[in-house]
Amino acid sequence: MERINNETIDLLMARKSMRVYEDKPVPQELKRQLLEASLRAATAGNMTLYTIIDVTDQALKDKLAVTCDNQPFIAAAPLVLIYCADYSRWYQAFCRVEEEVRRPSYGDFMLAAEDTIIAAQTAVTAADALGLGTCYIGDILENYEIHKRLLKLPAYVMPVAMVVGGYPVRQQKERKQTPRFALEDIVHDNRYDREKSARMMEMIEEKENWRGEELAPRLRAFCKRKWNSSFSEEMSRSVKAMLDAWIDPQDEEMEDGKGC
- Phi and psi angles of residue 103, each rounded to the nearest 5 degrees, phi first: -80, 150
- Provide the pairing of β-strand 157-166 with 50-54: unpaired
Name the 3-class secondary structure at 146. Answer: helix
Digit-coded pLDDT (tens) for 87-123: 999 999 999 999 999 999 999 999 999 999 999 999 9
Residue 83 phi/psi, 5-degree rounding, is -100, 120
- pLDDT averaged over 10-residue windows placed end to end, the chain, 260 residues: 88 96 97 98 98 98 98 98 98 96 97 98 98 98 98 97 98 96 97 96 95 93 95 97 94 55
Question: Do the bridges between strand 50-54 and strand 79-86 make them parallel or antiparallel, or are there none, so unpaired?
Answer: antiparallel
Residues 68, 137 contacting (CB under 8 angstroms):
yes
Give the end-to-end CA distance of the chain in Å, rounded to a whole number.
58
Beta bridge partners of 83: 52, 161
Give residue limits of the domains in the chain.
Answer: 16-178+229-253
Domain 16-178+229-253 belongs to what architecture? 3-Layer(aba) Sandwich (3.40)
Q: What are phi and psi of 157, to 5 degrees?
A: -135, 120
Q: Cα angle vertex 189, ends 188, 193, to 5°?
A: 50
pLDDT at 153: 97
Instruction: Tell me what pLDDT residue 42 has.
Output: 98
